[in-house]
C-alpha cells in the first residue's frame, strides 16, 4: 500500500488488507465473549426470571450499534477511517471490565451500550477500509473476508468463553478474552493501520463506482441518502429490510438460544458449541459467497439465505437432540449474511 500512489485491489494492498482482517477478528471476539454466557448470567446470577428482561441487553446493544452505524460512514468520510476505528476501540475498552464487576443488570445494559457503539464504529470502519483497498471488482470478496474474520472470531470466542465458564464460573474469567481482544485491537489500529480515504477518490476519478453507462455518481446529503435508502428506492429499501430481518434473527439466536438450550438440559460446553456453530458457519461461508456475489449477483443469494434462515429457526425449536440442533444452527447463515448492501 502506497499512500502517495494508491493502487486498487487486494493483492497490491495485501499487508494492510490482512491487518484489517485480523483487526476485525478482534472486533468479533468482543461480541463472542458474551454470546454463550451473558443470558445465563442474567438467569443464574441476577435471578431474572423474565426472558424479555434478560434479552433487554440486546435492545441497548442494537440501538447503540444502529445509531453508530448510521453515523460511522459519514464520520469516516469527514475525519478519516482510522480515527473512527481507533475511537471505536477506545469506547470498547471498558466493556469487559464493567461486565466482570457488574453489581446489577443495569450495569450489563450500560456495558452493551458501549459495546454497541464500539461495534458500530469498528466494524463499519474495517469493512469500509477493506472495500476502499479492494476496488469495485473485488468488493464482494472484501466484504466476505471481513465477515469471515469477524464471525469466525465470534464463534471461537463464544466457544472459548463457554469452556472457561464451565471450568471457572460465569464471571470474571470469560471476559478476560474481551480485555485481550480490545487491547490488541486498539494497539494494532493506532500503530499500524493506515488511512484509506485516497482510494475511493482514485475510484471516483476513474468513474469506477458509477453504474455502467453513467457518469460519476452525484454527491447527496445525509437526509437525501436516508430517504432514498429507507423507502424511496425499492431496491435499497429491500436490502435494508433484508438486513433488518437478518439482524433480528441474529439477535434472537444471541439472546434466546443459550436459554433455550439450557432448558433442554445441555451443559455449558454444549451450549458453547451450539452458540459457536451459528456464527462459525456464517463466517466460513462468507468467503465463498463473497466471491460468488461478485460474479452471480446478490439478489438471489439474499432471498435464498432468508429462506434458509426460516428453515433453520423452525428446525431449532422443533427438534430435540444435540446433533440435530447443530444442523439447525448451521442452516441460517449460508447465504444471507454480509452482502445485503
Q: CA–CA separation, 168 vs 172, rounded Å?
A: 9
Q: Please identify which residue in the block is written with the cell numbers 458509477.
A: 210
With a threshold of 0.85, does the pTM exceed it?
A: no
Q: Which of 226, 206, 225 shows the shortest CA–CA distance to 215?
A: 206
pLDDT beyond 90 at 17: yes
Q: Look at the alpha carbons of 159, 164, 165, 167 in this order and tell me if their dihedral is positive or negative.
A: positive
Q: Residue 55 corresponds to which cell in the numbers above? A: 434479552
Q: Is 103 helix (H, G, I), strand (E, B) or coil?
A: coil
Q: Residue 325 corresponds to which cell in the numbers above? A: 440442533
Mean pLDDT of the chain: 84
Neighbouring residues of 333: CB distance < 8 A, sequence distance ≥ 6: 151, 278, 279, 281, 282, 285, 305, 308, 309
Q: Look at the alpha carbons of 180, 186, 192, 198 in this order and tell me if their dihedral is positive or negative.
A: positive
Average pLDDT over residues 134-151: 86
pLDDT at 6: 72
Q: Look at the alpha carbons of 264, 105, 120, 269 in this order and tell me if their dihedral is positive or negative.
A: negative
Confidence of residue 205 (pLDDT cuts 50, 70, 90): low
Q: Please give the residue that has the higher pLDDT: either 333 or 249.
A: 249
Q: CA–CA separation, 43 vs 171, rounded Å?
A: 13
Q: CA–CA separation, 26 vs 339, rounded Å?
A: 21
pLDDT at 169: 95
Q: Which of 242, 254, 260, 249 shows the shortest CA–CA distance to 313?
A: 249
Q: Are 113 and 83 in contact (CB under 8 A)?
A: no
pLDDT at 242: 78
* Helical H segments across the chain, by residue range: 14-35, 38-44, 51-54, 56-79, 81-92, 95-101, 105-134, 139-168, 176-192, 198-205, 222-227, 234-263, 268-296, 299-318, 322-330
Share of the chain above pLDDT 90, in %: 46
Q: CA–CA separation, 183 vs 86, rounded Å?
A: 11
Confidence of residue 286 (pLDDT cuts 50, 70, 90): confident
- Looking at mean pLDDT, say which of 69-73, 150-154, 234-238 comes out highest: 150-154
Average pLDDT over residues 81-107: 97
pLDDT at 141: 83
CATH number of 11-199+220-330: 1.20.1250.20
Confidence of residue 217 (pLDDT cuts 50, 70, 90): very low
Supply φ then ψ for residue 218, to 5 degrees. Answer: -70, 150
Counted residue by residue, the chain has a size of 341
Confidence of residue 245 (pLDDT cuts 50, 70, 90): confident
pLDDT at 270: 93
Q: CA–CA separation, 255 vs 52, rounded Å?
A: 9
Confidence of residue 189 (pLDDT cuts 50, 70, 90): very high
Q: CA–CA separation, 64 vs 218, rounded Å?
A: 30
Average pLDDT over residues 42-66: 88
Average pLDDT over residues 219-246: 74
Q: Please identify which residue in the block is written with the cell numbers 429499501.
A: 237
Q: Residue 88 corresponds to which cell in the numbers above? A: 471505536
Confidence of residue 129 (pLDDT cuts 50, 70, 90): very high
pLDDT at 28: 95
Q: Which of 311, 185, 206, 196 shows the shortest CA–CA distance to 249?
A: 311
pLDDT at 209: 41
Amino acid at each position: 500500500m502506497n499512500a502517495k500512489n494508491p493502487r486498487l485491489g487486494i493483492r497490491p494492498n495485501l499487508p494492510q488488507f490482512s491487518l484489517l482482517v485480523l483487526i476485525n477478528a478482534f472486533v468479533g471476539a468482543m461480541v463472542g465473549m458474551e454470546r454463550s454466557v451473558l443470558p445465563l448470567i442474567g438467569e443464574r446470577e441476577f435471578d431474572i426470571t423474565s426472558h424479555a428482561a434478560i434479552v433487554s441487553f440486546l435492545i441497548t446493544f442494537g440501538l447503540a450499534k444502529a445509531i453508530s452505524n448510521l453515523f460511522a460512514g459519514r464520520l469516516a468520510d469527514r475525519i478519516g477511517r482510522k480515527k473512527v476505528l481507533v475511537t471505536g476501540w477506545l469506547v470498547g475498552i471498558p466493556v469487559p471490565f464493567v461486565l466482570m464487576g457488574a453489581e446489577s443488570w443495569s450495569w450489563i445494559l450500560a456495558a452493551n451500550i458501549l459495546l454497541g457503539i464500539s461495534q458500530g464504529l469498528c466494524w463499519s470502519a474495517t469493512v469500509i477500509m477493506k472495500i476502499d483497498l479492494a476496488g469495485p471488482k473485488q468488493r464482494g470478496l472484501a466484504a466476505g473476508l471481513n465477515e469471515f474474520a469477524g464471525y469466525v472470531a465470534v464463534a471461537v470466542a463464544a466457544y472459548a468463553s463457554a469452556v472457561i465458564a464451565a471450568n471457572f464460573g460465569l464471571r470474571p474469567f470469560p471476559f478476560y478474552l474481551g480485555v485481550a481482544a480490545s487491547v490488541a485491537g486498539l494497539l494494532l489500529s493506532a500503530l499500524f493501520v493506515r488511512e484509506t480515504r485516497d482510494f475511493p477518490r482514485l475510484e471516483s476519478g476513474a468513474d469506477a463506482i458509477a453504474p455502467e453507462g453513467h457518469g460519476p455518481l452525484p454527491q447527496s446529503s445525509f437526509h437525501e441518502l436516508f430517504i432514498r435508502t429507507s423507502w424511496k428506492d425499492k431496491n435499497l429499501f429491500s436490502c435494508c429490510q433484508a438486513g433488518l430481518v437478518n439482524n433480528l434473527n441474529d439477535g434472537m439466536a444471541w439472546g434466546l438460544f443459550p436459554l433455550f438450550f439450557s432448558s433442554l438440559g445441555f451443559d455449558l460446553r454444549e451450549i458453547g458449541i451450539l452458540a459457536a456453530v451459528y456464527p462459525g458457519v456464517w463466517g466460513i461461508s462468507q468467503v465463498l459467497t463473497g466471491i460468488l456475489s461478485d460474479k452471480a449477483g446478490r439478489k438471489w443469494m439474499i432471498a435464498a439465505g432468508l429462506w434458509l434462515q426460516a428453515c433453520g429457526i423452525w428446525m431449532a425449536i422443533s427438534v430435540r437432540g444435540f446433533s440435530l440442533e447443530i444442523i439447525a444452527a448451521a442452516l441460517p447463515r449460508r447465504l444471507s449474511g454480509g452482502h445485503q448492501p
